[in-house]
Amino acid sequence: MPVTLAVDAMGGDHGPSVTVPASLRFLEDAPDARVILAGRPDAIEDSLAKEKPNDRLSVQTAAEVVDMDEPPADALRKKKDSSLRVAINLVKDGTADGCVSAGNTGALMAIARFVLKTLPGIDRPAIASQLPTKTGVTTALDLGANVNCTAEQLVQFAVMGSALVAAVDGIDRPTVGLLNIGEEDIKGNDVVKAAAELLKSSGLNFHGNIEGDDIYKGTTDVVVCDGFVGNVALKTSEGLATMLYEFLRAEFTRNPATRIAALFAYPVLMAFKRRIDPRRYNGATLVGLKGVVVKSHGGADALAFRYALDKAHAEVVNGVLERIAQRIAAMPAPAAAPPSVEARPLPNA
Amino acid sequence: MPVTLAVDAMGGDHGPSVTVPASLRFLEDAPDARVILAGRPDAIEDSLAKEKPNDRLSVQTAAEVVDMDEPPADALRKKKDSSLRVAINLVKDGTADGCVSAGNTGALMAIARFVLKTLPGIDRPAIASQLPTKTGVTTALDLGANVNCTAEQLVQFAVMGSALVAAVDGIDRPTVGLLNIGEEDIKGNDVVKAAAELLKSSGLNFHGNIEGDDIYKGTTDVVVCDGFVGNVALKTSEGLATMLYEFLRAEFTRNPATRIAALFAYPVLMAFKRRIDPRRYNGATLVGLKGVVVKSHGGADALAFRYALDKAHAEVVNGVLERIAQRIAAMPAPAAAPPSVEARPLPNA
């Protein structure tokens, strides 16, 4: 079945100068696919004029653009003809099978949730992304959509993450780790402890508690955490990787001798850089919605945005939404509806 | 004034084989200092026999050892003659000015809190540690002692972190960042939002909200967060650094050509490695107690443990405890004792 992706052509720091060439490269390698670019035709035409035409690419006019720092509530209420919203509308009305945006994350989440709604059994959507590990990749969620989660929501994240990994990576029963500050059952806050108990009887392949260093060890296929913790872990990682890269660069450019060493080491350093290239992991999935929505990094270049398009395409082809719905439906019914456990301070010991 | 440090000689993965030589190297460079090794005399003597004697080093017998994975409550109740507890007792009775342990973190915190008590105005102690940044170092707290914090506790962490940095690093008014998932005031959970409001009127040099990547950018001198988030950020950083190091090593040992490149690059790679050597940052401070307590990494070697000793020494010499007490006393009184704000889920938008 041919897949149609809607692209928020105006989103991100670079707009059509990135989204247009990325869409064309994507179409060249996906001969059955179609792309609908949502945005201002004049801006899109400027970028299209530099490229070879492709009749599987079309344009859907959207007069407005959501600013990268615009409050999500404003974008939702006031910009009903934004490129971001028009792209999501194309998914809603069935014209497109999924959409990709490099725009304002909060606005994308708010509008996608408002327009598409969540899947049955899902309280709130989450942001899931692949991260590189020593042994391959892991999928972590939530990375910032939900700052206060209940134990039940963490379980829903686990279900959605498992379904995503099963569908896209072809792992039958992905292992699920619950991000905590110790491996023992007694560690962590009340929400995490309650989530661990629920996960044990969830039917998922629950590995147990994991710690921060397990993310990059690749201890589990899925890493579950609340959005505050996940966002801090992700941003901290970005900051550390940037610092280490700059330190390495500084050492190799310190003096003439180190510059000569850099010449010899250049191919090796480039291989290292390719291996950890964040562009390869671009594209976070907004899971839990009635539609495939992928968020690209705002600063993505055409190569990185292309990876986000590939991700949306793979999710559609592999039926991620159906898989999540099936797994949610297969969850054991909660015994006598346990009360939602919320974060609260421990009594002083 | 000569400084005396009590050392938990048996703590950590390596016990006296690390703590003894590290203490002797420390004494060689600190001619006024004294060290009291708490532990089993036979085990300590074995390690001392391999070293040049120093009459500023003495031994205080402690018959028991707290296991690295022993539940803190058990260590507190049942092991009253452990090396860890004897070292803390030496601080309590004034024999030592501070203590250092590479032992079980939870047990160290529980016993230190029970024996030494917290400073007036401090609800719970926190774990603070220096981290390297692009521009120098930053001090982050809490890194794992408190999994559920109130806004008032986060403010106390800010006060303690500021006092620590002011005393040890000689920065008059350290900048304080509140770790969050966005810089805007509206971002974050309720506890963090309330803490930001309190920090604005705290008299501290409050920079505002920061994100995970600001830690390693060195945006602020102090990074404040709850212990769950801080521990995840720290462990995630350790995992990422290890993975990147292994990837770099793998690329340089891939084949004969890359091994030759590695020879040329060797001095540069070693300079890079020294720059980020985690041993240089070994030694986390348990702040908020009526006594200087420094926790070394359990796997520390003698060089790393030596850094932890230096840290405890510097804190004593620079009067960290007095500085914290002064800053707490100077805090504006809370207006009509605002109720403690606790984490709770946001209503669905």
Alpha-carbon distance of B210 to A251, in angstroms, equals 28
H or E element that contains B250: helix B227-252
From A233, which residue of chain B is nearest by alpha-carbon distance?
A: B233
From B133, which residue of chain A is nearest by alpha-carbon distance?
A: A243
Type of residue numbered B227: G
Contact A241 B237 (CB under 8 A): no
Contact B236 A241 (CB under 8 A): no
- In this prediction, does ipTM exceed 0.90? no
Alpha-carbon distance of B40 to B302, in angstroms, equals 19
Question: Cα A260 to chain center, whole Å?
Answer: 40
Q: Which residue is it, tokens 């700059």?
A: A246
Q: Helix, strand or coil for residue B206? A: strand
User: Is any Cβ of chain A less than 8 angstroms from the Cβ of B233?
Assistant: yes
Residue B346 CB: number of other CB atoms within 10 A?
A: 12
Distance from CA of A195 to the nearest CA of B (A): 15
Phi-psi region of B64 (alpha: psi -120 to 50; beta: other; left: phi over 0): beta
The residues with which B131 forms a beta bridge, in sequence order, are B138
Q: Which of A236, A264, A277 to mutate to test the interface with B (most CBs of B within 10 A)?
A: A236
Q: Do B115 and B86 contact (CB within 8 A), yes or no?
A: no
Distance from CA of A311 to the nearest CA of B (A): 24
Tokens of A333: 């019914």
- How big, in percent rounded to 5, are the helix, strand and coil portions of chain B? 45, 15, 35
- Tell me the HSE value of B283 on the side-chain side, using a 13 A CA sphere: 24
Q: What angle do CA B194, B222, A214 make, to 5 degrees?
A: 90
The burial class, CB within 10 Å (0-12 / 13-18 / 19+), for B238 is middle
The burial class, CB within 10 Å (0-12 / 13-18 / 19+), for A172 is exposed
Over its C-alpha atoms, chain A yields an Rg (Å, rounded) of 21
Type of residue numbered B25: R
Tokens of B170: 């000689």
Name which of A148, A188, A216 is nearest B243 (Cβ-Cβ): A216
- Tell me the HSE value of B299 on the side-chain side, using a 13 A CA sphere: 2
Alpha-carbon distance of A144 to B180, in angstroms, equals 10
Q: What angle do CA A297, A300, A302 make, to 5 degrees?
A: 140
CB pairs under 8 A between A and B: 210
Q: Helix, strand or coil for residue B157? A: helix
Type of residue numbered A285: T
Helices (DSSP H) in A117-226: which residue ranges?
A: 151-169, 190-200, 212-217
Residue B193 CB: number of other CB atoms within 10 A?
A: 18
Name which of A124, A214, A225 is nearest B239 (Cβ-Cβ): A214
Name which of B149, B254, B265 is nearest A264 (Cβ-Cβ): B265
Chain A contacts of B284, Cβ < 8 Å? none
Q: Which residue is it, tokens 């397990």?
A: A214
- Tell me the HSE value of B234 on the side-chain side, using a 13 A CA sphere: 30
Give the C-alpha distances (Å, rounded to integers) separating A71 from A66, A78, A228, A275, A342.
9, 11, 18, 36, 27
Q: Which residue is it, tokens 């009775």?
A: B93
Helices (DSSP H) in A118-255: which residue ranges?
A: 151-169, 190-200, 212-217, 227-252
- How big, in percent rounded to 5, are the helix, strand and coil portions of chain A? 45, 15, 35
Name which of A216, A229, A267 is nearest B240 (Cβ-Cβ): A216
H or E element that contains B305: helix B302-317
User: Is any Cβ of chain B less than 8 angstroms from the Cβ of A271?
Assistant: yes
pLDDT at A183: 63
Q: Tens place of pLDDT for every residue, chain B, 349 residues?
A: 789 999 999 999 999 999 999 999 999 999 999 999 999 999 999 999 999 989 999 999 999 999 998 999 999 999 999 999 999 999 999 999 999 999 999 999 999 999 999 999 999 999 999 999 999 999 999 999 998 899 999 999 999 999 999 999 999 999 999 999 976 666 788 899 999 999 999 999 999 999 999 999 999 999 999 999 999 999 999 999 999 999 999 999 999 989 998 888 888 999 888 888 888 899 999 999 999 999 999 999 999 999 999 999 999 999 999 999 998 888 776 544 444 444 444 444 3
User: Is any Cβ of chain B less than 8 angstroms from the Cβ of A231?
Assistant: yes
Contact A232 B181 (CB under 8 A): yes
pTM for this prediction: 0.90
Contact B190 A148 (CB under 8 A): yes
User: Is any Cβ of chain A less than 8 angstroms from the Cβ of B251?
Assistant: yes
Type of residue numbered A252: F
Phi-psi region of A224 (alpha: psi -120 to 50; beta: other; left: phi over 0): beta
> Which stretches of chain A drop beneath a pLDDT of 70?
183-186, 333-349
From B183, which residue of chain A is nearest by alpha-carbon distance?
A: A69
Q: Beta A222-224 vs B4-8: how paired, if at all?
A: unpaired
Residue A271 CB: number of other CB atoms within 10 A?
A: 16
Alpha-carbon distance of B99 to A45, in angstroms, equals 69
From A226, which residue of chain B is nearest by alpha-carbon distance?
A: B229
Alpha-carbon distance of B331 to B334, in angstroms, equals 9
Contact B148 A189 (CB under 8 A): yes
From B239, which residue of chain A is nearest by alpha-carbon distance?
A: A213
Residue A2 CB: number of other CB atoms within 10 A?
A: 10
Chain A contacts of B215, Cβ < 8 Å? 236, 239-240
Alpha-carbon distance of A96 to A7, in angstroms, equals 10
pLDDT, tens only, B120-132: 999 999 999 999 9
User: Is any Cβ of chain B less than 8 angstroms from the Cβ of A118?
Assistant: no
pLDDT, tens only, A7-29: 999 999 999 999 999 999 999 99
pLDDT at B274: 87
Q: Which residue is it, tokens 């069935």?
A: A94
Phi-psi region of A257 (alpha: psi -120 to 50; beta: other; left: phi over 0): alpha
Q: Do A142 and A160 contact (CB within 8 A), yes or no?
A: no
Contact A232 B211 (CB under 8 A): yes
The burial class, CB within 10 Å (0-12 / 13-18 / 19+), for B327 is buried
Give residues with Cβ within 8 angstroms of B336, minimum separation 6: none
Strands of chain B (E only): list them: 4-8, 34-39, 57-61, 98-101, 126-132, 137-141, 175-179, 205-210, 222-224, 284-287, 292-295
Contact B258 A267 (CB under 8 A): yes
Give the C-alpha distances (Å, rounded to integers) separating B10 from A10, A274, B42, B48, B309.
62, 45, 11, 13, 15
H or E element that contains A204: none
Please name the residues between 142 and 171 in chain B that touch chain A, using a CB distance below 8 Å: 144, 147-150
Distance from CA of A71 to the nearest CA of B (A): 10
Contact B268 A275 (CB under 8 A): no
Over its C-alpha atoms, chain B yields an Rg (Å, rounded) of 21
Alpha-carbon distance of A289 to A284, in angstroms, equals 13
Give the C-alpha distances (Å, rounded to integers) separating A91 from A7, A110, A115, B170, B199.
10, 15, 9, 58, 44
Distance from CA of A55 to the nearest CA of B (A): 40
